[in-house]
Amino acid sequence: MIKFGIIGANGYGGGELLRLLSQHPQVELGMIASRSQEGKRLEEVFPTFWGHPWGKVTFVDSEDPSCTAGCDLVFMAVPHGVSAKLGPALLAQGARLIDLGADFRFKDPKVYSEWYKVEHQAPELLAEAVYGLPELFRDELPGARVVGNPGCYPTATLLGLAPLVKAGLIDPDRIIIDAKSGFSGSGRTAKPELVCGETADNMRAYGVATHRHTPEIEAVVARLASRPVTVSFTPHVVPMPRGILSTLHLTLRQPATTADLIDVFNAAYMKEPFVCVLPEPYLPETKGVLGSNRCQIGVRADRRTGQAIVVSVIDNLVKGMAGQAIQNMNLMFGLEETTGLLHPGMWP
């Protein structure tokens, strides 16, 4: 049994970890921490836990360094900067670390500090930290002590890009990513723009040309393409609780048909338990992965424009966050990768 703790367990990422881990046969709840909810019971913070055995577990103070004592693994669901600060002490305690934030996603601390506007507090850990996208970097996960769990947008986007980039089929200098997310990606904190009357029936672009997931996507594409890459990334928020749909507008280097492209994706993902490529005439919908750890991908070649359009969908809180973190945990600890994660999504 893996004894786990969660720091920042009061947000949507933390709640989703608890929902999924409560169904995982090889874990044991060590502690849940939150500064703002200290002393409250889980059921008071997540009403889904009324009547559940974990509902009476009480949040401890995340500022107390001893809170993680005895944990084999700590999930960090905290703002950037916190994981880097707490990480070294956690490792010294013998715990491993999966950071749901950005602190361990970059190999180069300069990229981090440029986009996140803070110095990295534990640059010495970046060499060993693994970027936890198992479909691309599975081999690095067994035994890893520190995993940077990918961002939600990068997860959907990179799974849609990787096969075509690796195969050299698209021009890496003309990658245009138009991504749409449900509002849970904006978090649970009370901010004026998140009030229900403001978000209902409303859609907007945000972070245009400045979103912090841009360098994360670029870093991975650069690894795959073996050269520096700049991408155009434009996120939008859409009035639904969950789901990301990332539409990739790509320029084919040479003519290809939709069938050709589907073949490339199928070859890349045929053995993947959580990635599914839809055959013609189907295209993925976000609801198709609601609550599940799956990624569904559709692709079309447009002979008129020479473009390939890829549509990749995930649940931003599962494959885009908590589910992927558990997938990483399974690999880190030598468990079957799919443990606790095979359930289908919910319809409707």
Comparing CB distances to a second copy, the nearer of 81 and 340 is 340
Q: Residue 202, interface with a second copy (CB under 8 A)?
A: yes
Q: Report the distance separating Cα 224 and Cα 217, nearest Å.
A: 11
Comparing CB distances to a second copy, the nearer of 69 and 208 is 208
Q: Pattern 150-179, binding to a second copy, x per CB under 8 A?
A: --------------------------x-x-
* Beta-bridge partner residues of 27: 2
* 152 carries an active-site annotation: yes
Q: Residue 217, interface with a second copy (CB under 8 A)?
A: no
71, 152, 196, 295: the catalytic one is: 152
Instruction: Give the one residue of 134, 151, 154, 243 binding a second copy; rule: CB under 8 A.
Output: 243
Query: 190 by DSSP, 3-state: which?
Result: coil
Between the alpha carbon of residue 53 and those of residues 3, 16, 69, 192, the distances in Å are 16, 16, 22, 35
Residues 6+ apart with CB under 8 A from 233: 153, 157, 177, 179, 211, 213, 214, 217
Residue-wise DSSP of 296-316: EEEEEEETTTTEEEEEEEE-T
Do the Cβ atoms of 148 and 122 come closer than 8 Å?
Answer: no
Q: Report the distance separating Cα 131 and Cα 223, nearest Å.
A: 12
User: Taking contact as CB under 8 A, which single stretch among the options 88-96, 155-163, 297-305, 320-328 is the one that binds a second copy?
Assistant: 297-305
**What's the DSSP call for residue 278?**
P
Q: Residue 283, interface with a second copy (CB under 8 A)?
A: yes
Report, in Å, the least distance between residue 345 CB and a second copy. Answer: 4
Q: Residue 339, interface with a second copy (CB under 8 A)?
A: no
Q: Residue 111, interface with a second copy (CB under 8 A)?
A: no
Q: Residue 225, interface with a second copy (CB under 8 A)?
A: no
Q: Report the distance separating Cα 166 and Cα 163, nearest Å.
A: 5
Backbone angles phi, psi at 199, to 5 degrees: -95, -25
Q: Residue 249, interface with a second copy (CB under 8 A)?
A: yes
Q: Residue 278, interface with a second copy (CB under 8 A)?
A: yes
Site for a second copy in 16-75 (CB under 8 A): 18-19, 22-23, 44, 46-52, 54
Comparing CB distances to a second copy, the nearer of 149 and 181 is 181
Tell me how far apart the terminal alpha carbons of the chain are, to the nearest angstrom.
34
- Which residues form the catalytic set? 152
